Structures are given as C-alpha cells and as structure tokens.
Chain A
C-alpha cells in the first residue's frame, strides 16, 4: 500500500519529465501495474480505497491543474479504480446499481492506441464484471466504446464499436446472456478528459459499462 501511494505521487513528476509520447504513458502504465501487483492484486484492495483515493487526489492535483480534469487526472487512466474491487471472487456487496458496479468492479477499461484488444488487466476487469452480472442476474448493461481524438471521426466510431464488441464477446464467453448486453460507440465524441496529451488520450481510449 505504501508502495502504491508512492507511485501515485511520483507519477505526475515522471510524466512531466517524459517526452510526451504515447510510449511514455504505456511504460508508465506498465510500471504502475507491475508494482501494484507486487503489493496486492488490484482487484483485492477494497480496504485501501478510501485512503489511497484521498492521497491520489492530492497527488493528482498537480496534473489536474494542467489537464483541467481531476476525476481521472493521473498518468494511470485506471486511476483510483485500481483499488476498487471485491474481497472474494464472487461476493459483491454494493448492490446491482451503477455505483455498486463502480465500487465492486469498476465501470471501465482502457485500450492501447488504435486497438480493441483486451489486455490482461482489461480481461481481469471483464471477468469480474461477468461475475458481478451472474450475482445480479436481473441487471442489463450497455457497453460504450470510445476513442481518443487522434483519428478520423468515422474510423473512431468503427473503433469504438469494435472495442465495445470485444467486451461483449468476452461476456458472452463467460455465459452472460446476449439479451442482457447492448453496445454503442461514441467514437471520439464523448471524451472523459480534455486536453491533447498522451495521458488524456489514454483515459479517453476506453469502454464504459452502464447499468441500464
């Protein structure tokens, strides 16, 4: 936990020192991920949530001042969500609502540039989402695919659609019924962060789960 906090505080400084290339962010992500895993798997850190979020918030302010976007203003686009999770594999305690999903599983995953492939971390989140949907069998979700601003409008709609569908397909594999899932692509029309930096792009290349 201490280790995680240290990274979070350090991250903005690292970014500031980096050449603003996508590569830098990807590397940053990997560092964060690796170190986090060393401590505890990111989906088993429920107890950390409150405290680390507060510290992340402080750490994030420096960066937030640059991006004007505080909610996900850290170099790691997963932000505080990394620490949100379940204590054991299928017991979710926060209820079948959007806020419950956000607290127990997280409501989004991220993608690399021009890709709709699920990375190991994303796959882990989707698997948790599948478990969550099994626990709450009456829930239906909409998967929204998004892209960053560095593509043409039409192509980004196709890309967002592909991202949302890759998640849908994974959930179908996990046995979730197709009639509980819908997808939509917003292309680059609904960014969550503003700015034209690698960090902002990374936060915007995402898919979001919306409980219907």
Chain B
C-alpha cells in the first residue's frame, strides 16, 4: 500500500470558492487509517483478486465545502416513491490523454446513479451547460429550468499510471455548492474510482450509502443443458471485472458472502456428495462444513454476525435446517419436521430464521423465533408456492421467489407477511439477493429452453422504488447471484 500524500490544496479552480460556501475545511481523507475492515487491511499484500476492488488503493484528499443547507432524503425510509433528478455532466478531460477515460468515467457514474432507485439521471442532451462552461460560470437560470435538481461535474486526469478525478456536487434550485473533492487511484482501477465517486454522491445527496463499492459472487455457466459446467465467479456490482474461483470440475451452487466479505460459503456436488464448503477469499483456503457420513448439506448462508452458518441437512430423505457455530463447530437443529425445510436466512438482529417448507401441500415461507421456538407461516397464498426467503440487511423486508400458475416471480414482503409486492417475473426467476443498502435486489432469470441444448440464464437487478430492471453484462451465462456487503466507506 503506497500512500501519496499531497500538501497542496486540491481545489485550484477559482470558480468553486466563488459559490456559496459557508466554510472550507481541508480534510485529508485517508481510508487506510479508517476503522474499516481491519482484517482485509492486514492481508492486502496477499490478496489480488478480491482486494482489487478496494478503497485502500485510494489516496484521497479533499476539500469539503460544507453546505448542509440542502439535504435531500429520498424514498428510502421516508416511504416516498420519488427519485431525485440528477445531471451528471461529461467529466472534462484534463488533457488529450484523458479523453477516453473521462468519457468512460462519466458513463459508469451515470449508469451507477441510474441503477440506484434513488436518482434519475437526466438525459445528457438536456443539459444547458458543459462541465467547462458550468465551472467557469454557472448559468443558474438555465439550470433552474432544467429537470435536474442536483448537478455533478468535474474532470478526469490521467497521468502516467494514475488517474485522478475532481468532482463537485451542486444543487440547482438553491444554487448551492455541496461538495468538492479529488480522488486518485491507479489507472487500472479507474472503474473503482467511478464507483467511489458514485458512492460519495449517493451518500452526500441521499443521506444513505450507495452500493457501488460492492461485488457479486455468482455461478458462471457454460456448456449445453445436459452437460453444464458451473464455475464460482466474482464480479463488481455492475457486472465488470469477472474473476473465476473454480475450474468447473464440480458442480457449484448458491454461493454467499460472509458479512465481512472475506469468506464465501457455497454448495458443491462432487464425487457423489452434496456438501457445504467454506472458502476464504484472501487465503483461498477451503473446508467442508459438515463431515457427518450419510448426510447431504446445502443452501448455506452466514448468520449476520458472521459467527455461524445456517444450512439444510438431508438425512434419510428428510431435509431440515441446522445452524453450525463456526468457532465451536457445535451443530444445532432448528427444524424437526418430516417435510423438506430449506433456504434458511437469519434476520439481521439474529433472533429469527426465515425458511421455506412444504409441510402443508406446497412450499411456503415460515419464520422461526429462535428464543421461543415458535414457527409462524408468513406467506399467505395457498395457490402459490413461496421459496428462498432472504432478509434485507435493514430488516425491513423479506425477498422471495414465488411460483404461481407455473410463473416464477421475485417479490418482497414485510417480515410479518404483509405488503407483498412483485418486482420481476420470468420463466424461471430465482435466487434474490439484496444490495448492501437494501435498495435493490439482484436475481437470476432463466429463459424458456428451445430444446437445442442451450440454456439462457443471466443475472439482473431491480431497484425497489422505481422498479427499474437492468441486466449485469456477464460474459457467460450466469446464475445464483449473492451480493457482497459494502466494501468501502466514504
């Protein structure tokens, strides 16, 4: 980790300080000294694949102009379903060598913000000014007439092997300057810089963290329907930077991140056994979770405190839900039914376990209270099958897969089963997974097969508020997504 410290003020453009800034403090933001991810920080030198996403490479200086006068809080938490129109001006290239990166950088930031459920990015053609024009002399009157309430602008400068972005946030209506910062990163990591800037904008304007500095672990699929090759893979939340973690020699399914983001657990079918595997992303070490003979274990998921794994164990044809403490390796059986119980998910407070069971006629979702041992069914429609409950990180929702009249759907409901809403449908849609800020879901959608041996399955995401859906551009077919926790902090 090499830190390049600069003592010179970052902001050189006189125009910025001309705007309404109540105070200007120079703050050195060095994420390396932050209280985040101590584990990862210690092991960075060994890590390439996972760590490359990360913040620690950022050397960040910033000058904050703190104008707290306008604080937008949108949708989430407030309940309102409106998005904030935002203009992301084309970032100015500092020199001709920066032109392509400036364009790409702008594109990534726009796409990120559009995929938040928080913002609507106003079409670039409708901007009254370019970045250069705005930064030399903002035409507030023109901006007030445009749809944009928030203006993001700045420049991108490539020099040698580093790339630098200066970025500013303004509010059009109040003509206020919200923030100016500069961040720098190795050129090869320019996408992370764009994600980082997107996160800053999300946090500063919406008041909550974005999900841009996160990753998705998933199953990359190749081959025909009858000889499918499945590999563990990890990508950035926008579908880029795919890395493969397994070679396809065994069937791998349903990977999930630990709450720290440094481990995954998944199901592997190999040599006639179905087993839960625990794998450390930094060291690459892996182990079989449950070694008891005659058992099949699958559908693992970390507890939110990271201390244990909840999973399904099949013994003598009966599948029930178990919890294993990773320290003591003590195994606790959570369900005792002759029916099939699977797809468990522990609530963020650790007190409840949502799972699916076919104890009545078809699959339905139940919630177990770990203190009282009481089980309550929460999905209410008898005509539909409900599966794969997943608690949102903020505890407000349970995402699920619903199969009704042969049609698959991804939806959300409150933990008491009320307020059911369908967000996506398809021939087979399943494996919902929450963005770390609980504002979006990723899931897999398999198309109806034509019978020529191909299987089309891709990962999509949808935001909760506008229900805009977008595909993740994986290079192969893809399934079983699982979103990581947030990997950085602003």
Instruction: Give chain A's interface residues, CB within 8 Å of chain B.
Output: 66-69, 114, 116, 142, 149-155, 157-159, 161-162, 164-166, 168-169, 182, 184-187, 189-197, 200
Report chain A residues within 8 Å CB of B363: 152, 155
Count residues on chain B whose CB falls below 8 Å from chain A CBs. Answer: 48
Which residues from B are CB-within-8-Å of A186?
251, 269
Specify which chain B residues have a CB less than 8 angstroms from the CB of A157 in the assembled complex: 253, 267, 274, 296, 298-299, 312, 314, 342
Q: What are the residues of chain A within 8 A of B343 when measuring CB–CB?
A: 152, 154-155
Complex Cα–Cα for A152 and B356 (A): 11
A158 and B340 within 8 A (CB): yes
What residues on B are CB-neighbors of A155 within 8 Å?
340, 342-343, 356, 358, 363, 387
Closest to B251 in A: A189
Judge whether B166 is part of the interface by a CB distance below 8 angstroms. no
B225-253 CB contact bits vs A (8 Å, 1 = yes)?
11010100000000000000000000101
B228 and A153 within 8 A (CB): no
Interface string of B196-232 (1 = CB under 8 A from A): 0000000000000000000000000000111010100
Residues on the A chain within 8 Å of B228, using CB: 189-190
A102 to B188, CA, bound (A): 57
Flag if A154 contacts B226 (CB, 8 Å).
Answer: no
Question: Do the beta carbons of B451 and A161 come within 8 Å of each other?
Answer: no
Give B224's nearest chain A residue, CB to CB. Answer: A194
Interface presence of B19 (CB below 8 A) = no
CA–CA, A62 and B253, complex, Å: 35
> Distance (Å) between the CB of B403 and the closest chain A CB?
8
Residues A184 and B274 in contact, CB atoms below 8 Å apart:
yes
6 smallest CB-CB distances across A and B, nearest first, come from: A165-B317, A194-B225, A195-B451, A158-B340, A158-B319, A154-B299
Q: Other than A152-B387, A161-B274, give 16 A-B pairs with Cβ distance below 8 A.
A: A68-B452, A69-B453, A153-B430, A155-B342, A155-B387, A157-B312, A158-B314, A161-B317, A162-B318, A184-B269, A186-B269, A189-B253, A191-B225, A194-B454, A195-B449, A195-B450
Please determine whether B450 and A191 come into contact, CB atoms closer than 8 angstroms.
no
The complex places the Cα of A152 from the Cα of B479 at a distance, in Å, of 12
**Bound complex: CA A93 to CA B399 (Å):** 55
Q: B447 to chain A: closest CB distance in Å?
A: 9
Q: A-B pairs with CB below 8 Å: how many?
A: 125
Residues of A contacting B273 with CB < 8 Å? 184
**Closest chain B residue to A65, Cβ basis:** B451
Query: Does B272 have its Cβ within 8 Å of any Cβ on chain A?
Result: yes
Query: How many Å lie between the Cα of A68 and that of B450 in the bound state?
Result: 9
B312 pairs with A194, CB closer than 8 A: no
User: In the complex, what distance in Å separates the CA atom of A172 from the CA atom of B451?
Assistant: 38
A151 to chain B, nearest CB (A): 8
Interface string of B423-450 (1 = CB under 8 A from A): 0000110110000000000000010111
Complex interface: chain A residues within 8 A of B431 (CB):
153
Shortest distance in angstroms between B343's beta carbon and chain A's nearest beta carbon?
Answer: 5
| Contact for A158 among B225, B251, B312, B316, CB less than 8 A | B312
Residues of chain A lying within 8 A (CB to CB) of residue B230: 189
Chain B residues near A197 (CB-CB < 8 A): 451
Q: How far is the CA of A187 from the CA of B267 in the complex (A)?
A: 12
Q: Does B64 contact A (CB under 8 A)?
A: no
Closest to A194 in B: B225
Q: Tell me the bound Cα distance from A154 to B342 in angstroms.
A: 7
A196 touches B427 (CB 8 A): yes
Whether B388 contacts A152 by the Cβ 8 Å rule is yes
A150 vs B449: C-alpha distance when bound (angstroms): 12
Whether B317 contacts A153 by the Cβ 8 Å rule is: no
The minimal Cβ–Cβ distance linking B260 to chain A, given in whole angstroms, is 24
Q: Does B373 contact A (CB under 8 A)?
A: no
In the complex, whether B401 has a CB less than 8 A from a CB of chain A is: yes
Q: Are B387 and A154 in contact, CB atoms less than 8 angstroms apart?
A: yes
- Give the contacting residue for B226; candidates A159, A162, A192; CB below 8 A: A192
Given contacts A68-B453, A193-B226, A196-B448, are A153 and B253 in contact (CB under 8 A)?
Answer: yes
Q: A209 CB to closest chain B CB, in angstroms?
A: 13
The distance in angstroms between the C-alpha atoms of A200 and B452, with both chains bound, is: 12
From A116, A154, A165, A168, B312 is in contact (CB under 8 Å) with A154
22 A-B pairs within 8 Å (CB atoms) are namely A68-B451, A68-B453, A114-B362, A150-B406, A152-B430, A154-B342, A155-B387, A157-B274, A157-B296, A161-B314, A162-B318, A162-B319, A165-B317, A166-B317, A185-B296, A185-B314, A190-B226, A191-B226, A194-B225, A194-B226, A194-B451, A196-B451
Is A152 in contact with B225, judged by CB distance below 8 angstroms?
Answer: no
Cα A184 to Cα B317 with chains together (Å): 10
Report the separation of the CA atoms of residues A189 and B296 in the bound assembly, to the nearest whole angstrom.
Answer: 15
Q: Please indicate the chain A residues that have their CB under 8 angstroms from the CB of B403 in the complex.
A: 150-152
Nearest A residue to B446, CB-CB: A149
Judge if B480 is at the interface, Cβ distance under 8 Å: yes
B451: contacting residue among A69, A149, A184, CB under 8 A: A69
A145 to chain B, nearest CB (A): 9
- Report A114 CB to chain B, min CB distance, Å: 7
Q: Is B379 an interface residue (CB 8 A)?
A: no
Shortest A127–chain B CB gap in Å is: 19
Residues of A within 8 A of B299 (CB): 154, 157
